[in-house]
């Protein structure tokens, strides 16, 4: 079975540009999570969706960040305009609908570099 | 607020030694879930184990074992007879059961991770 699929795997762009990260969760999973990993702050939860509905976006650092989940099989995380401090690895994860004890399965991440 | 502390930033041992990675958590909830993930040098995050707050039984899976003690709010991870392939960053994580989640899961709070180096 396919795991969580993220694209692109690497993104290098100049500051001020719009960046869009994409995620396809595992089929049948109804929870989707976006995390950011940096050396300074470790792994941080940015936002998560249950049944395509955003539940908690308190981890989104600024208004420059936005996330959508238009259907059960696709989500995007957008940064506009991007800044060098947004450079990080962004992970998407999904889990089964049976509750909070379900493990989250992570994609391979998108390594984002803002110059 | 929930918090996970992994006090060991880096551990280096020689192959075949046993090693224990510590995890201490803080939560106000009586129902919560604990997880361990492995991040090898290739960068992906691999799920290892979950444990709910009502199940304090220790668990063993091959060379891996986990010791959950509510009295000390700890969920430690031991690798027996370590191997070079065990070299990775290991993360402990916590999910609380409180709050509305819309019928699904909640986000994880991760510790800062322990970088485990197994030398040949």
Alpha carbon separation from A39 to A64, A87, A102, B25, B46 (Å, rounded): 21, 10, 27, 21, 19
Q: How many CB atoms lie within 10 A of CB A76?
A: 15
Rounded average pLDDT per 10-residue block, chain B, 120 residues: 94 97 94 94 94 87 94 96 97 78 72 97
Q: How far is B96 from chain A (nearest CA, A)?
A: 8
Interface touch B97/A53, C-beta < 8 Å: no
CA distances from B58 to A77, B65, B74, B111 (A): 38, 7, 12, 21
Question: Are the C-beta atoms of B37 and A42 separated by less than 8 Å?
Answer: no
Percent composition of chain B: helix, strand, coil (DSSP 3-state, to 5): 5, 50, 45
Say yes or no for a CB contact (<8 Å) between B104 and A30.
yes
User: B43 in contact with A at a CB cutoff of 8 Å?
Assistant: yes
CA dist list (Å): B54 to A48, A86, B8, B24: 26, 39, 26, 17
Is B106 part of the contact surface with chain A (CB cutoff 8 Å)? Answer: yes
Residues of B in contact with A56 (CB under 8 A): 106-107
In eight-state DSSP terms, residue A103 is: P
Which pLDDT does position B5 carry in this prediction?
Answer: 98
A53 CB near a chain B CB, below 8 Å? yes
pLDDT, position A100:
65
| CA–CA distances in Å: residue A36 to residues A40, B1, B30, B99, B114 | 11, 19, 28, 23, 18
What's the confidence (pLDDT) of residue B2? 86
The residue with greater pLDDT, B57 or A82, is A82
Residue A95, chain B, CB below 8 Å: the answer is yes
Mean pLDDT of A82-95: 96
Q: Could you give phi then psi for residue B19, rounded to 5 degrees?
A: -145, 140
Q: What is the mean pLDDT of residues A2-16?
A: 96
- pLDDT per residue as tens digits for the range A23-76: 999 999 989 999 999 999 999 999 999 889 998 898 998 899 999 999 999 999
> Is B66 strand, coil or helix?
strand
């Amino acid at each position: 079975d396919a795991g969580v699929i993220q694209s692109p795997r690497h993104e290098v762009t100049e500051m001020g540009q719009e960046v869009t990260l994409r995620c396809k969760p595992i089929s049948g999973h109804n929870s989707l999570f976006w995390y950011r990993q940096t050396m300074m702050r470790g792994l941080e939860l940015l936002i998560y969706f249950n049944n395509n509905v955003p539940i908690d976006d308190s981890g989104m650092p600024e208004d420059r960040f936005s996330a959508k989940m238009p259907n059960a099989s696709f989500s995007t995380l957008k940064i506009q305009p991007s800044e060098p401090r947004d450079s990080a690895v962004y992970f998407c994860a999904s889990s089964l609908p049976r509750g909070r004890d379900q493990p989250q399965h992570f994609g391979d991440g998108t390594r984002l570099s803002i110059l | 607020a929930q918090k996970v502390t992994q006090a060991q930033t880096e551990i280096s041992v020689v192959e075949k030694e046993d090693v224990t990675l510590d995890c201490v958590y803080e939560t106000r909830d009586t129902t919560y879930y604990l997880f361990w993930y492995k991040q090898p040098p290739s960068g992906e995050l691999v799920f290892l184990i979950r444990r709910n707050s009502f199940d304090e039984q220790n668990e063993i899976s091959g060379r891996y074992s986990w010791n959950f003690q509510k009295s000390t709010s700890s969920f430690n991870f031991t690798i027996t007879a370590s191997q070079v392939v065990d070299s990775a960053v290991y993360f402990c994580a916590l999910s609380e059961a409180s709050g509305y989640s819309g019928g699904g899961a909640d986000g994880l709070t991760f510790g800062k991770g322990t970088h485990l180096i197994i030398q040949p």
